[in-house]
Each structure stands twice: as structure tokens, then as C-alpha cells.
Amino acid sequence: VIRSGMITAALAAFLLSCSHAPTGIPNELPSQPRSLTVLSHVRLWDGSGAPARENVSLVLRGDLVDSILESGASIPSEAKVIDLTGKTIIPALIAAHSHLGLTKDGAAGAQNLTEANVLRQLKSFAHYGVGTVVSLGTDHDFIFDLRAKRQAGKIESPYILTAGHGFGTDRGAPPLEMGMDEVYRPRSPAEALRNVQDLAVQRPDLVKIWVDDFGHSMKNKMNPKIYHEIITEAHKHGLKVAAHVYYLEDAKKLAKSGVNFFGHSVRDRPVDAELIRLMASRNVGLIPTLSLDEAFFVYADHPAWMDSTFFKEALDPGVWEKLQAPAFQPKQSSRKDLEIAKQNALALMRAGIPVGMGTDSGATIYRIQGFAEHEELALLVDAGFSPAEALKAATSVNAKLLGLQQSRGSLVPQMKADFIVLDANPLENIRNTQKIHEVWLEGQKISGAI
Ligand SMILES: [Zn+2]
């Protein structure tokens, strides 16, 4: 049904273009509707790093940003105009570290990995203004078909990037009980090489590796010779590599091995000049996942946001009960981890390292998809980022880290029209990203935004 609707719209656009172009007939049908939509009288923060612009019109053509017009500029007569006086538009968020399909109804595990569950979660992400989701290494094979359907416009969902099957360690991370049951666990560099070659056939968007021992809870860490082989081979296939890290020493070795970004913060100690130098010289980025560390303890504190609709609507059935004492047992050491992670994120951002936004949402039932991405922005601001710096992490910096900067992460002409319409200005208070009026993905307003 969706497909036939798209064809009809494309045909209509074709007929319209004929009537306006008497001297020639286009050789082929346009690939998508090219109708013009104008969102007028908005404050626009475009994600590029430029200051917000007041009282402008964002012009969409089909799925793309066409132009930004100053107030008073003439608007093409065929355009559909929507007056959004008082609203603020920001690019849709890019969630650079999430997991799809692992959680459902208050439980986590591989049994939840179904297309229906992944679709349900993608829809929730979209409602929360997340326009791109990176699923980092825990997927089953059906993700590739689902990605193809999404990228062909057959389902309403955020843009999907997947690492497919990630790389862990035999009798090591990631824990099988978290549902990470189809992760490669090579026992030698030669096996790692074959595994990367197998994965590359599936055309993942990036490669994920888990290198440490989850706070000494696992028997083995990944041998550096193995991750060196994975990274080297991945690069031959044009694939970036993201690493799960915790320890400073691992981060240094990974940077020397050519890893592209860290999927978590260094949390055992403050980053030092040597790591900063390595990251800067090898263009290594960071996804701090501060909300992961917070989620280990914060529910025991019952912050005011736990009673907000914005939080509660993100919860699966059965999760709320598990966040209450005594069911929820806080991990007190994560308070210290969070403080170190915040300091390190700020130090690296100030040193010019690309610091993006990701949360590890969906890896456990405590990392709440959709909500976590907004909480991460607030935590980055707590860490010392300005609201604009935090929003940049979640938009244009992430786009660049993921190689999407030609199409996503900022609202300038020819970029995908993925954006959130907010009722209040997030540059004044970062929690205003939670005041979502509408979400638009690829030029279409999505149904039922929260
Ligand atoms: Zn993860």
C-alpha cells in the first residue's frame, strides 16, 4: 500500500513537472515526490555549528532541505505553508550507540530479537526525535533485510546503521546472557580475518569490537593481536571500527591499532596527554555513553524526571516496576564512573577530539530507548558542554563520525529533511529537547510523535 502510494505521488510530480516544462519531457520519473513544503516563522538551529536563526522559513523539497528563507522572502505559490510561529527546529538526533530488539516487556535476551520487536523499537525512537539509529554489534541477520526495506522507503523508521555481528572474546565479553549470542568470538588472528571477510559480505555499516573484561567479571580480554587484525581487515573493506572500552590502557592500544571511535568513555582514570595525542593524530572519536553509567544507579535516587510523561511513555510494560526498590539495586561504583566519564568527555571535546552522542540504549532494560538520547544531552551539559555543543555532538559530529555528513546531521540545502519541531528553545535549557511538537523524517511528518 505504501509503495503504490509513493508511485502515485511520483507520477503526480511527473505530470506537474511536464505542465511547467513545455520545452522538454523528463527522461525518467522522479524517484520521489518533489512537492514543496514551507515551515515558516521558526527559530532554526541547523546543526552545522552556526548560531540559531530567528524567524526563518525552512523549505523542504521532497525528502530534502531545499533552502532557508529569511522572513519576508517570497514563497513559491505551489508550496504548502505551515506556520510554526514560536517553535524551534533542530536536526533529528543521531543515536550512535544503541542495540535493537534485545529488550521487551521488562526482560532482555536473544529471544526478543524479532523483526516485529525491532520495528516497534524503531518507531519509538522516531517518536522521540531520533532520525538515525546505530545498532552496535548484537543484531541477527534479519537486520540487513530490514535495513534494505527502510532505505528503500518501505517502512517508516529512523535511518538504520548496523554493525551486524560484532566481535567479542571466547569465554569473555560481551556476556551471552545479555542476548549477544551471535557475536563472532575468534580465537586467533587468522579466524578473526575470516570472520571480518564473512561479515563484509553482508555489507555492514561499521564493525563493533568488545575488548575488555567488563570490570574483571569476564575470564578473558581480547588479545590485541586479534583486534589489530579485525581493525586492519575492516579498513580494507572500507569499514570503520567502534570499540567497547573502559580502561585507559586499552584505549591507547586501540588508538595505536587504528580504531575509529570508542563506543564508551574511559572510566578507570582521567584521560592523559598521551591518549589525547594519539586520538588527535589518528582522528579517533568518542561516544561517551554517560547515560549508560547513570542508568546503573539513578533510579534509586528517583529524580523528578522519572515522574514525567516523557520518561514513562518510553518504558516497556513491566519496566517501571523493575526500577523501584527493592527490585532495582543501584551499582554504586557507577557514580564514580560517571564523574570520570564526564570529565573525560569534556577534556577530549575541549582538546578538539570529535565527541558524539550515544547511550547504549536497548542493551539492557535500564537503558531506555528514546529517553536515554535526551538524557545524554542533559548529561553532556552537566559535564560542561554548552547546549549547542551537546546538540552538535548528537547531530553533525555524529554524522561525521559515521560518515553520514553528506546527507544527515545538519539542516542545510540538499541534506535529508530529518528534524524535530520543539515547543521551546533547547539552547536556553537543554531539557527543552524533550518538548517535542513534531518529528519529521525525510520530509514527512511522522505519525503520533509524543
Ligand atoms: Zn553497546
- Per-residue pLDDT of 225-237, as tens digits, reads 999 999 999 999 9
pLDDT exceeds cutoff 50 at 402: yes
Residue-level pLDDT at 450: 53
Find the 265 Cα to ligand 1 centroid distance in Å: 12
Distance 145 CA to ligand 1 centre (A): 22
**Do residues 301 and 328 make contact, with C-beta atoms less than 8 angstroms apart?**
no
The three grid cell numbers given for residue 244, joined into one nine-digit string: 567497547
**What spacing in Å lies between the alpha carbon of 298 and ligand 1's midpoint?**
19
| CA pair distance 280, 183, nearest whole angstrom | 30
Q: What's the 103 CA to ligand 1 centre distance in angstroms?
A: 13
Q: Ligand 1: distance of its center to the CA of 210 in Å?
A: 9
The predicted-structure confidence for 248-280, as pLDDT tens digits, reads as follows: 999 999 999 999 999 999 999 999 999 999 999
CA separation, residue 57 to residues 81, 345, 437 (Å): 9, 35, 17
Contact by Cβ (8 Å): 173, 244: yes
104 C-alpha to ligand 1 centroid (Å): 17
- Residues 363-380 have a mean pLDDT of 98
The C-alpha cell of 252 is what?
Answer: 591507547
Q: How many CA atoms lie within 13 A of 233 on its CB side?
A: 23
CB atoms within 10 A of CB 442: 21
Distance (Å) from CA 260 to ligand 1 centroid: 16
Distance CA 142, CA 114 (A): 8
How many C-beta atoms lie closer than 10 Å to residue 85's C-beta? 8
Cα 250 to middle of ligand 1, angstroms? 17
Distance 165 CA to ligand 1 centre (A): 12
| Cα-to-centroid distance, 80 and ligand 1 (Å) | 42
Rg (CA), the chain: 22
Determine contact, residues 233/207, Cβ cutoff 8 Å.
Answer: no
